[in-house]
Structure formats: structure tokens, C-alpha cells
Amino acid sequence: MSEREQDFFIGWAETPKPDRRFLLGASLGLLTLSGVGAALLARSQAPVGTGSWDMSDVRTFSGMLVREPYPMLLTNAFGDAPRTAFLVTNGKTGVQRRLGALADGPVNVMGSVIQRGASAMIAAIDGDAWIAPAPSVAVPEFATWAEEDLGEVLLVGEVLDAKCWFGAMRPSSGKVHKACAALCVRGGLPPAFCSGGTICGESSEAPLLLRADGGPHGEELLELVADPVHAIGRLVRVGDVTQFRADISAIHRL
């Protein structure tokens, strides 16, 4: 009789040698296939981008408050040249209601930085002490603050919420991020438009998305968030911020 024929499997007894060899080989094969599958899956995923947000690094930033079209701070805190930093909360909402009757002008803001390349946001601390008028603060001079019309364009891409794309969430684009993006835009966070035929995670810039008149979009934009779309509008440069101005009627799903 063969070795196989002599072996009889008993659950509490030692596993027969042929079965041990088979199980060992099968286990090694499954481990190898799992590793290869995981590597291929990881390579197929879109890059998450280079954005960052250290919530523990809370600082005071001085500059010029501008409330429209979205609250922002014009500040010299990010280097030699004046920069624009959008103002947001630590959650999925903007700071519009928290500004109260505070008018445009010099202020101090307490918060942490969300940054992706040249794009920056300040996530304000909780409570009422996050912002205060600062009459003695030197207001940054924006030599290019006047609007510069860059012309009409047709862009193909995706509507994102700027906070997540700047670095608050990774990944920050695509279907996996649709629900989060919709909540953020509904909460008053500025939307951005990722275009240029690149994967959004690899893009270095996503213009602020506004209506054709330069005002913020309403909730009608929500159904288009995180879907592939094409839009006709105008690129406008305001200071160091590029805006893509397109009415909702000019944005269509692909």
C-alpha cells in the first residue's frame, strides 16, 4: 500500500505527511498571491497628494480679513510675499457665521495651517477668541490684488471641497470622497475645481470655483460634487488666488 493509502485522517491525531506538504505549499502560495495582489491594488490607487494639516500646531496669524467671496486672511506669515489663506473651522463648516458683524480689516487669527503647495488655509480654534481686530497690524500690500481676467476656458475635471483637497483629508477626490465633499460644500467651505487632465491627487493647483459674477455657488452645486464634469467659464486671478468663474448652467456631467 502507498503512503497515502496507509494514512487515515483523524481530527485529533497528527496530520498525515502528504496533507502537511499540501497545506504548507498552499499556504505559501496564498501568501504570495496576497502580497502580489496588495501591491497591484496599491499601485492602481490615485495619489493622495502632498497636502498636510498639523492640528496641534496652533499659532496666531496677523493680516487683513476679507469676507467675500469666502472668508480669507491676506498675510505675510507664510514668507516674504503676501499670501492668501482661506479661513475655515476645524470641522466641515466655514467661519461665515462666526465672524458676526466683524468688518474687513486688520485682525489676528488663531488656528492651525492646512497647506498644499502654494495653497493655504487656517483652521480656526474653537470658541470666540479665534479672531480679534488688530488696528496696529500692518496690512499686506497686494500689488496684483486687482482682478486679472485670464480669458474664457473649457475645463474638464472634478468639483472638490478645497479644505479636504488642501490636506484635511486623504484621499480628497473621487467617488470615495463624494459624501464628505458634499457635506463640506453644504457647510460653507470653498469649492475648488481640479482640472488639466491630471489625477486630482497629483495636481498642484485647483482654482476656487465661483459663479460667473464672482459670488459663491449655492446648494445647487452639491449634486455635481466629486463627479467628472466639464464646464465653460472664465479664469480670473485675484492676488495669488486663481478663480474659475462658471454658472451652474455651464457645468455638466460627463
Task: Kindly give the parts of the chain with pLDDT less than 70.
Answer: 1-23, 25-26, 28-29, 31-51, 139-145, 168-177, 196-204
Closest CA to 240 of 108, 126, 148: 148
Closest CA to 156 of 102, 64, 229, 232: 229
Report pLDDT digits (tens) over 106-146.
Answer: 999 999 999 888 788 999 999 999 999 998 877 666 545 67
pLDDT for res 47: 46
Burial class (CB in 10 A: 0-12, 13-18, 19+), 142: middle
Q: Could you give the CA distance from residue 205 to residue 193 in angstroms, rounded to a whole number?
A: 9
Residue given cell 482682478 in the structure block: 147
**Domain boundary assignment for the chain:** 52-133, 148-253
Q: Could you give the CA distance from residue 212 to residue 232 in angstroms, rounded to a whole number?
A: 10
pLDDT for res 38: 42
The domain over range 52-133 is classified in CATH as 1.20.140: no
**18 φ, ψ (degrees, to nearest 5):** -60, -40
SS (H, E, C) the chain: CCHHHHCCCCCCCCCCHHHHHHHHHHHHHHHHHHHHHHHHHHHHCCCCCCCEECCCCCEEEEEEEECCCCCEEEECCCCCCCEEEEEECCCCCECCHHHCCCCCEEEEEEEEEEEECCEEEEEECCCHHHEEECCCCCCCCCCCCCCEEEEEEEEEEEEEEHHHHHHHCCCCCCHHHHHHHHHHHHCCCCEEEECCCCCHHHCCCCCEEECCCCCCCCHHHHHHECCEEEEEEEEEEECCEEEEECCHHHEEEC
